[in-house]
């Protein structure tokens, strides 16, 4: 128990404390591991001499549940946890999930919907004046007016609805220390308006210098063009070197002000963060419930980087971690790996070495370290920038060192590689060693779609790039004398995906020779480029109108097309083919997705004989061996 920070008043008193400086209220169970934001921020504050108590998953129906430690000396820190509470609770179809991996034994229902707002309001009912600072991904991505998929409307900045004083957005290490020092020196929380990486409320603009005035809340709520315009401005101000201060007007409630992002961590700072004295496990109080499922996969994984310059439209990393790569040193990672090998349940396998994108180990170009990222250009899309530094030498060296550690049998790379970045590197050493040492039969990659029209809106490379990668991966496997397969992730119903594009993806899945067990339907989560397109029907960076599959029925059809072999999906598939004008895919040819309905069974227009007639008229599809990893696996 002494390895963990206090979770009860008795724990606090056993340490000889009369009062804690900060109470950290979180929607997750308490896991003291560096993959959990609660652990990082609380241990970082502890390292600076602050006393921190943790209240994990308080009962939001009881006010006394957040008064475990009494009133903290400096303030409350509030987070929904590692996941957005709405995404944690609901599928994209808005159905309740059955399991919460961040709760004891995977039990669902231990946190409320919109946890940050609920916890903050609960605190305010008991502690009227105590500073409340929000953090974590739920607050970070709702820091300004935002479209809410679950209520299908534009909602206030979470700062307005929660009654909190500040948001520490992004990863938060720099800003939380500066906030703590300001509070500790006696500065009222209302006066803490200068910290990078924070959002605050004020009555007027007197505390800001030359702010960028965003469309007001009333404007973005009433006008989708205004919403898209506001989002574009925010998207272009996510870089700590170039971003301006932004102000959003809320009428009688005043303004919500967003300061520019905090600077990225240096490698030395990253090393310090990951060298803090984490227990590396969940709190012992969860042992009786079977532990915390989320820890199982990451317990023997290593974080090597943070941030991502991939800029996928459906990803919130641009708004949360930023596009500038931050890395840990080899020494820091190896130190953690050695400690990991000494754990009694370590079996010799390091499950992953990576981050948002495994093979990013440096900023995309050196200019970013002094000038920031480009406002109107991407590093990899639509093609790699001429200034891109595509080099895997550092990552290859790190993986070799980890492979050579005593007790390590295998080092996996599971957090995903950016295949266009791999191709941009003329040196094939990484790809060869990836295939030989770091894949166990299957390499998971994320082409997301096969239609270049959809990929354009996704911010992903063209399908031809993915096909080229498959060929190179095949060569690497042959060189290693192995037979391994690339397993692609695909997404349905993304903005820009018409029914014709969905059918095109289904045809590709057919030619692969496998049926995906799960299909990822596009999920419009707050503060992504794709969500803005979903809500407005406008690409905010170009002003272009975008087709959006919105109805639950159309989304169900697009999902069903990817799993056309499942008999349950037949009617949805047939409807999709009719809409797309692709009834040539109903028949007995090997290229057909579904068979015609027999006479007397359903739609008489598509009878068994009609299907045979169509096949004889056009001739059967020519037989050929489709050369791809999935087909070979099936044949084997």
- pLDDT value at 602 more than 60: no
- pLDDT value at 626 more than 70: no
**Contact 83/30 with Cβ under 8 angstroms?**
no
Burial class of residue 74 in the structure, from the number of CB atoms within 10 Å of its CB (0-12 exposed, 13-18 middle, 19+ buried)? buried
In angstroms, the CA 109 to CA 103 distance is 9
* pLDDT value of residue 366: 83
Overall residue count recorded for the chain in this entry:
636
**Contact 445/416 with Cβ under 8 angstroms?**
yes
Instruction: Identify which of 339, 344, 337, 385 has the alpha carbon closest to the alpha carbon of residue 365.
Output: 385
* pLDDT value of residue 220: 98
Q: What values do phi and psi take at 572, rounded to 5?
A: -65, -40
* pLDDT value of residue 517: 66
Instruction: List residues bridging with 444 in a β-sheet.
Output: 487
* pLDDT value of residue 600: 53
Burial class of residue 369 in the structure, from the number of CB atoms within 10 Å of its CB (0-12 exposed, 13-18 middle, 19+ buried)? middle
What would the pLDDT profile of 378-409 be if each residue is shown by its tens digit?
999 999 999 999 999 999 999 999 999 999 99
Query: Which helix (H) or strand (E) covers residue 564, if one does?
Result: none
Query: Which helix (H) or strand (E) covers residue 155, if one does?
Result: strand 153-155
* pLDDT value of residue 367: 85
In angstroms, the CA 139 to CA 79 distance is 7
What CA–CA distances, in Å, run from 122 to 25, 244, 434?
A: 11, 33, 50
Q: b/e map of 462-501 (b: 16 or more CB within 10 Å)?
A: bbebbeebbebbbebbeebeeebbbbbebbbbbbbbbbeb
Asked whether residue 312 is marked as a ligand-binding residue, the answer is: yes
When pLDDT is averaged across residues 447-466 and rounded to a whole number, the result is 96
What would the pLDDT profile of 43-79 be if each residue is shown by its tens digit?
999 999 999 999 999 999 999 999 999 999 999 999 9
What would the pLDDT profile of 502-536 be if each residue is shown by its tens digit?
999 999 999 988 777 677 999 999 999 999 999 99
- pLDDT value at 286 more than 90: yes
Q: Which two tokens stand for residue 361?
A: 């180990």
In angstroms, the CA 15 to CA 12 distance is 5
Q: If you average pLDDT over every residue of the chain, what do you get?
A: 92
Instruction: Identify which of 129, 130, 141, 257 has the alpha carbon closest to the alpha carbon of residue 193.
Output: 257
What would the pLDDT profile of 24-33 be if each residue is shown by its tens digit?
999 999 999 9
* pLDDT value of residue 18: 97
**Contact 45/177 with Cβ under 8 angstroms?**
yes
In angstroms, the CA 31 to CA 4 distance is 9
In angstroms, the CA 350 to CA 360 distance is 18
* pLDDT value of residue 515: 75
In angstroms, the CA 523 to CA 392 distance is 32
Confirm whether pTM is higher than 0.85.
yes
* pLDDT value of residue 135: 97
Identify the band that residue 614 occupies on the pLDDT scale cut at 50, 70 and 90.
very low
When pLDDT is averaged across residues 485-491 and rounded to a whole number, the result is 92
- pLDDT value at 603 more than 80: no
Asked whether residue 374 is marked as a ligand-binding residue, the answer is: no
* pLDDT value of residue 359: 95
Q: What is the largest CA-CA distance in the chain?
A: 87
Identify the band that residue 1 occupies on the pLDDT scale cut at 50, 70 and 90.
low
Asked whether residue 308 is marked as a ligand-binding residue, the answer is: yes
- pLDDT value at 211 more than 80: yes
């Amino acid at each position: 128990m002494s390895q963990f920070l206090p979770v009860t008043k008795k724990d606090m008193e056993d340490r000889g404390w009369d009062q804690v400086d900060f109470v950290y209220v979180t929607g997750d169970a308490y896991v003291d591991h560096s993959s959990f934001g609660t652990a990082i921020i609380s241990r970082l504050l502890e390292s600076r001499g602050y006393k921190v108590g943790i209240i994990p998953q308080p009962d939001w129906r009881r006010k006394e549940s957040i008064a475990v430690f009494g009133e903290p000396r400096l303030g409350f820190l509030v987070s929904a946890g590692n996941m957005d509470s709405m995404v944690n609770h609901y599928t994209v179809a808005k159905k309740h999930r059955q399991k919460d991996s961040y709760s004891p034994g995977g039990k669902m229902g231990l946190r409320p919907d919109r946890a940050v707002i609920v916890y903050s309001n609960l605190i305010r009912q008991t502690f009227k004046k105590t500073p409340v600072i929000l953090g974590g991904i739920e607050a970070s991505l709702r820091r300004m007016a935002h479209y809410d998929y679950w209520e299908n409307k534009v909602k206030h900045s979470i700062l307005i609805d929660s009654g909190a004083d500040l948001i520490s957005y992004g990863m938060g290490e720099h800003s939380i220390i500066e906030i703590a020092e300001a509070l500790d020196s006696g500065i009222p929380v209302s006066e803490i308006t200068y910290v990078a990486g924070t959002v605050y409320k004020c009555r007027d603009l007197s505390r800001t210098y030359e702010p960028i005035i965003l469309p007001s809340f009333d404007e973005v709520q009433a006008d989708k063009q205004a919403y898209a315009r506001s989002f574009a401005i925010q998207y272009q101000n996510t870089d700590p070197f170039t971003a301006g201060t932004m102000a959003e007007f809320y009428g009688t409630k005043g303004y919500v002000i967003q300061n520019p992002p905090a600077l990225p961590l240096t490698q030395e700072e990253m090393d310090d963060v990951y060298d803090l004295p984490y227990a590396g496990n969940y709190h012992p109080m969860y042992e009786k419930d079977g532990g915390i499922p989320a820890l199982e996969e990451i317990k023997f994984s290593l974080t090597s980087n943070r941030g991502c310059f991939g800029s996928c439209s459906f990803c919130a990393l641009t708004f949360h971690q930023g596009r500038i790569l931050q890395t840990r040193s080899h020494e820091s990672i190896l130190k953690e790996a050695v400690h990991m090998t000494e754990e009694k349940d370590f079996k010799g396998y390091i499950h992953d070495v990576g981050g948002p994108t495994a093979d990013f180990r440096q900023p995309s170009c050196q200019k970013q370290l002094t000038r920031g990222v480009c406002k109107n250009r991407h590093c990899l899309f639509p093609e790699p920038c001429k200034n891109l530094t595509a080099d895997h030498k550092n990552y290859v060296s790190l993986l070799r060192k980890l492979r050579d550690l005593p007790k390590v049998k295998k080092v996996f790379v599971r957090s995903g590689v950016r295949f266009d970045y791999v191709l941009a590197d003329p040196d094939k050493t990484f790809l060869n060693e990836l295939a030989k040492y770091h894949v166990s039969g299957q390499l998971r990659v994320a082409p997301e779609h096969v239609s270049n029209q959809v990929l354009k809106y996704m911010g992903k490379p063209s399908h031809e790039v993915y096909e080229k990668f498959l060929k190179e991966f095949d060569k690497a496997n042959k060189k290693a004398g192995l037979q391994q397969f690339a397993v692609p992730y695909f997404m349905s119903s993304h903005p820009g995906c018409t029914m014709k594009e969905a059918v095109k993806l289904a045809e590709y899945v057919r030619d692969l020779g496998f049926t995906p067990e799960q299909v990822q339907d596009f999920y419009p989560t707050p503060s992504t480029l794709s969500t803005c397109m979903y809500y407005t029907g406008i690409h905010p960076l170009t002003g272009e109108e975008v087709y959006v599959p919105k109805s639950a029925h159309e989304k169900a059809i697009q999902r069903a097309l990817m799993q056309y072999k499942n008999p349950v999906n037949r009617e949805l598939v047939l409807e999709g083919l009719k809409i797309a004008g692709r009834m040539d895919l109903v028949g007995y040819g090997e290229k057909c997705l579904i068979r015609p309905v027999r006479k007397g069974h359903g739609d008489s227009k598509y009878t068994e004989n009609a299907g045979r007639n169509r096949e004889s008229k056009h001739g059967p599809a020519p037989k050929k061996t489709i050369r791809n990893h999935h087909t070979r696996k099936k044949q084997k």
